[in-house]
Homo-oligomer: A and B are copies of this chain.
Amino acid sequence: MFTDFKYTADRPAYLQLKEYLKEQILSGLIQAGERLPATRELASTIRLGRNTVIQAYQDLEEEGFIETVPGQGSFVSAVVVEAGTTTRIPWDQLTTPYAASAVQLDIEKSELKWERGMISFKSIAPDGNLFPTEDFKRAFLHRFALEGEKLLNYGYAQGYRPLLEYLANYLKQKGVDPEGKAILVTNGFTEGLNVVLAGICAPGDGIVTENPTHNTALKIFKLRNLKVYGIPMTPDGIDVDALAATLAAKPVKAGFLIPSYHNPTGLVMPPAKRQAVLEVFARHRVPIIEDGFNEELRYSGAHVAPLLALAGKGNNVVYIGSFSKILFPGLRLGWVVADRALIATLESIKRSMNIHTSFLDQALLYEYLQNGSFEKYLRRARKVYRQRHEAAIRLASALIPHRRIWGEGGLHIFVELAPQINARAVLAACYRRGVLFMPGDLFYTDGGGANTLRLGIGRVTEEEMAQGFKIIGEVVSMLEGEKSASI
């Protein structure tokens, strides 16, 4: 007995012995009331120190698996784990319609998957190699020394106070008037949007948005049973006349807009159009949810203020921010900026969802941001991504037969092919040749965009772009040839 115990070097020996003995007890191999070997004896059998055995026994007693009777030895407690009847639940029949939609709309499950060796333009995640890990470590050591215990204990739903203050100042730097506004920290943009929609849009409500728009936002609208009205994009952003017509004709509860480095088109809405859009929404008294997701990835042109800033003292813009497209997306940190009373309501919703966002992560981000590391990183990251973006535009223009290449910033470009070319057919052929991208139809509110695709460039080299775009171009050319031959 006990001769099959195997010790590996990666964890404390007494823990491994304890776990081994627990399994013996739980599986009934050692029965309740049975006496365990003396510590010296077991130590000799398994060839580990006696202290290891003593510590394992102490832990087992502490956890109620054995009892030690002084002078008599250690005995196994009556630990009941015998299973009764085995019950099977037909989960596939019991899950909710909501769950079925969540699965059906989950592109991680339905779309083609990356495999080793492929060149992928699917993601718009930032390049981890650029992350300032040393600065982050310094931020950890500094902040943790100051208030480690506090950061590891429960915090507040609204957020970590110093981060809230930093963000308020950061937004002021974008021209936002802080008066009457407040901030709520969320687990990234995605949760921010969920919190906002839970607060202001009930199932069946209408929401107006650019068409195409951010596919995750679109998924969330559908999951929440919102009626989505997509407004076409012109080359300088949303078609304002079409927007005005929809707001006049349809019952719309809110707008969702991505005015800067729009996903997927990469467009920046010019200042004059921003004013026009604000004016149309104001006229219909419809609030705007502004996605400021990668405002920081501006590569050229003058600073453009977010709608939240242009709204001045108005309370009609709800802004959702995140650094996830440049900095530490793994931490899942985002924030909602809005009217103070609305934020108080959203705070209760956030609390009901998950109490609050990790206080450790919030404090680390704060420390990193406030000591100047962020600006240093931004300069470097912008330079790299600007070059990558310029290369992407140049290479795609040269290598992929297209009707239009869209994109002024961010970590992606958007390609519109000739109308007769189906991007999913292109993807299928490219996939066989080891190249992946996002078919544009995923971003369309109305099933359109069959001839479009999004190319994420955050994590690829210029060589990979040249190689991958060439393959995409060849496939498109081939399909164009087939189409014209068949006409």
Residues of A within 8 A of B (CB): 11-12, 15, 18-19, 22-23, 26, 59, 62-65, 77-89, 91-92, 94-99, 102-103, 105-106, 108-109, 123, 125-126, 128-129, 131, 133, 136-137, 140-141, 144, 148-155, 157, 169, 172-175, 177, 186-188, 190-191, 194, 198-202, 219-220, 223, 253, 271, 274-275, 278-279, 281-282, 285, 287, 298, 300-305, 309-316, 328-332, 339, 341-342, 344-346, 348-349, 351-361, 364, 370-372, 375, 378-379, 382
**Whole-angstrom distance between the Cβ of A283 and the nearest chain B Cβ:** 9
User: Complex: how many Å from CA A188 to CA B198?
Assistant: 20
**Whole-angstrom distance between the Cβ of A68 and the nearest chain B Cβ:** 13
User: Complex: how many Å from CA A133 to CA B143?
Assistant: 12
User: Complex: how many Å from CA A220 to CA B191?
Assistant: 17
Q: Within 8 Å CB of A278, what residues of B?
A: 84, 87
Structural contact, B285 and A89, CB atoms closer than 8 A:
yes
User: Complex: how many Å from CA A26 to CA B174?
Assistant: 8
Structural contact, B349 and A102, CB atoms closer than 8 A:
yes
User: Complex: how many Å from CA A148 to CA B328?
Assistant: 10
The residue that A175 contacts in the complex, of B26, B78, B223, B314, with Cβ under 8 A, is B26
Q: Within 8 Å CB of A155, what residues of B?
A: 330
The residue that A129 contacts in the complex, of B149, B187, B279, B329, with Cβ under 8 A, is B149
Given A149-B131, A298-B64, A353 and B87 contact (CB-CB distance below 8 Å): no
The residue that A149 contacts in the complex, of B128, B173, B199, with Cβ under 8 A, is B128
Given A200-B94, A305-B80, A348-B109, A354 and B194 contact (CB-CB distance below 8 Å): yes
Structural contact, B91 and A352, CB atoms closer than 8 A:
no
Q: Within 8 Å CB of A91, what residues of B?
A: 200, 315, 339, 341-342, 345
**Whole-angstrom distance between the Cβ of A26 and the nearest chain B Cβ:** 4
Given A77-B302, A148-B131, A153-B128, A190 and B355 contact (CB-CB distance below 8 Å): yes
Structural contact, A315 and B194, CB atoms closer than 8 A:
no
The residue that A79 contacts in the complex, of B19, B23, B303, with Cβ under 8 A, is B303
**Whole-angstrom distance between the Cβ of A409 and the nearest chain B Cβ:** 11
**Chain A contact residues: helix, strand, loop or mixed:** helix
Q: Which residue of chain B has its CB nearest to the CB of A180? A: B88
User: Complex: how many Å from CA A76 to CA B2?
Assistant: 79
Among the interface residues A131, A149, A304, which one has the most CB atoms of the partner chain B within 10 A? A149
User: Complex: how many Å from CA A152 to CA B304?
Assistant: 29
A80-B304, A188-B355 known; 15 other A-B pairs, CB under 8 Å? A19-B169, A62-B382, A63-B303, A77-B303, A83-B309, A87-B278, A95-B345, A99-B345, A99-B349, A106-B351, A108-B157, A131-B152, A136-B152, A190-B354, A353-B353
User: Complex: how many Å from CA A87 to CA B311?
Assistant: 7
Given A106-B348, A352-B105, A355-B188, A96 and B199 contact (CB-CB distance below 8 Å): yes
Given A91-B315, A375-B15, A152 and B99 contact (CB-CB distance below 8 Å): no
The residue that A302 contacts in the complex, of B78, B172, B173, B360, with Cβ under 8 A, is B78
Lowest 8 A-B CB distances belong to which pairs?
A83-B312, A64-B303, A81-B175, A191-B354, A77-B302, A12-B372, A80-B271, A187-B354
User: Complex: how many Å from CA A301 to CA B172?
Assistant: 58
The residue that A103 contacts in the complex, of B129, B131, B348, with Cβ under 8 A, is B348
